[in-house]
Structure 1
C-alpha cells in the first residue's frame, strides 16, 4: 500500500486546487467554502492563509508575481503585495467558481458550477491576460479538473457528474480546442466521481476521486495502472511539487461528512502527500 503522509494538518471545509509554484517553491491550494487561499512551504513546514472576498474555486501563480483566483463572480488578481483587483466578472446568480488551470499559452481556463449542481448550470471559460473571455463548454454541471499533455496537443477535462475524463485536441498555434470525446469513464463498480487532476511528465493522468477513497493514474492510452488508496473519502485535487516535482500533493474535504464520518476520517480537510510518486511536468503561470 502506498504510504501517505500529512504535509499540513488542516480542517478545510472544501480543500481544492493543489498547484505548485516553481518560482516561490510554494504549494498553493484553496478552501473553497472557507474563502481562503493557502500557501505551504514544504522545505520549512511554514503555512499562511489569504482571505478572499468570495468563495474561491482555484488559485494560480501569475507570471509577473502575485496570484490569479477563480471567484464566485469572476476572476480576480492579487499583486505581489496581495492587493486585490478584479480582472473580469460575469455575475451569474447562484454560481461560483470551481477548478481552474493555466495552459501553455498563459490563458486561465476557469470553471464554474451552480451551488445546487444543476446540470447545465456551469461553464468552462478561457480567460485571456487582458480579461476577455469566451465560453468553451456552455453546459457543464460541475466543471472540474483540467490538464494538458506534455506535448500540449491534448487537453483533459472533467465534468464530475458524467464520471468521465474527456479529452480535446489542441491547436498548437493558439491553444484553442476541438473534438471533445471520452478518455476514461469510471466503471459502474468504481465508487466516486472524478474531481481534480494533474498530468505527469510521462503523460499519465492522475485523477482525485470524490467519495472514491482514491487517486487513480491512467496511462496516455486510458489504462488504469495505479490506484493510491486514501485515508479519506473526499480527495479533491492533486499536483506534483517539491524541489524536483516528485511529490504528489493531494487536497481533501470535510464538506458534507457527518460527525461520525469525520471521526473515522481525522485527516479530512488536510493537505496530504505521497513522496516520490512520479515525475511532475512543468506548469505555467497566468500571463495577466
Structure 2
C-alpha cells in the first residue's frame, strides 16, 4: 500500500471527491471557499470554478457539461462552460443556520443530499432526494450533520452518517422509487476519542469505507458492520473518500487545511491535500451521473 499526495491546493475544507469514469477526471470541492476542482488521476490539468456560497457536494450531470451543487442556500446547477450558477430549489428557506452538505447520485440518476446545523450542535438537518425532473422529496429529519451517503452494489441498502450522533446508518432502499425505510445502526464511532464519521464510499465487494475526520484514519467496514481494516493517514482532518483511476483501484482522500470550529485540531504541512492510496487490492464501483 502506498499513500501519495495527488494535488495540494490547500483546500480550507476539502470534500466531496467524485471520479467521473467517462471523463477520467477527479472532481472535488473546497466547501468553505466555494470552489469546484477537476484534475487527472495524477493531479494534472487542474481546472476550477467558483460558486457564490459554501458548497457541500456536487454531482456530475448526464451530459458531462455541468454539475448539481448543494450550496448553502439550496440546490443549484453549475455550467462548466460558462461558470454560471442557477438555483433549482431551496428546501430550507426558514433555517438560516443550516446549510446543505454531503450528497451522492443513485443508479437511477437521483441526487440524495443532506443538510446540517452550521454549529454542528442541533438536530436541525434533513435528508432530501432531488429527482431528474428537479422534484425534491424529504427522506428523513432530525439530523445534526449529514455525511457519507452511498449505496450497496446491489442498490438495496443506503448508507448515511449523522456525524455527531456517532452512528453510520443503513436504510432499506427502493431503487425503483428512491424511497428509504427501516433505518438502523450499521456501525458506531466513539466520538469521545475525537474522531467522527465523515464521507464514505462502497467498494465492489460491498464494504463501506469511511473517513474518520479529526482522527487521521480511514475505516473499512464489512457488510455486517464489523471493522475490517483501519488505515492511518498523514493528516488528522481527512474528510471523504472515492475510488477512481482507470481501473477504479485508487482511493482518493480529501482533507481540510483549517478546522471549521476552534475546538477542532490543527494539522501539519500536508493539510488540505488530496491523497491517493494505491495497492489496496480492492476496486470501487462507478459513480453515476445525475439525470434520467
Which TM-score tier does this pair reach, normalised by the shorter chain? over 0.9
Q: Which runs of 5+ in 1 are unaligned?
A: none
Closer, same or farther: CA 189–118 of 1 in aligned 2, 3 Å? closer
Q: Deviations over 1:176-206 (max 9, x none)?
A: 1100000011247754000000000000000
Q: Is the 8 A contact 1:105 1:174 kept in 2?
A: no
Please name the residue that 2:50 is paired with: 51
Aligned pairs (5 A) from 1:1-80: 2-43=1-42, 45-65=44-64, 66-80=66-80
Segments of 4+ in structure 1 off by > 3 A?
Answer: 187-191
Aligned-pair CA distance for 1:98 = 0.9
Q: Does 1:207 align with 2:210?
A: yes
Q: Deviations over 1:78-113 (max 9, x none)?
A: 234233222212323122121111111111111111
3-state SS, counterpart of residue 2 of structure 2: coil
Count, aligned residues: 284
> 1:113 and 1:187 mapped to 2: Cα distance?
20
Aligned pairs (5 A) from 1:119-268: 119-187=122-190, 191-256=194-259, 262=266, 265-268=268-271
> 2:51 and 2:190 mapped to 1: Cα distance?
38
Please name the residue that 2:86 is paired with: 85
Q: Is the 8 A contact 1:28 1:60 kept in 2?
A: no
User: What is the TM-score normalised by the length of structure 1?
Assistant: 0.93
RMSD: 1.8
Q: Does 1:108 align with 2:108?
A: no
> 1:25 and 1:83 mapped to 2: Cα distance?
23
Aligned-pair CA distance for 1:114 = 2.0
Q: Is the 8 A contact 2:2 2:279 kept in 1?
A: no
Closer, same or farther: CA 118–188 of 1 in aligned 2, 3 Å? closer
Q: Is the 8 A contact 2:113 2:149 kept in 1?
A: no
User: What is the TM-score normalised by the length of structure 2?
Assistant: 0.92
> 2:9 and 2:291 mapped to 1: Cα distance?
31
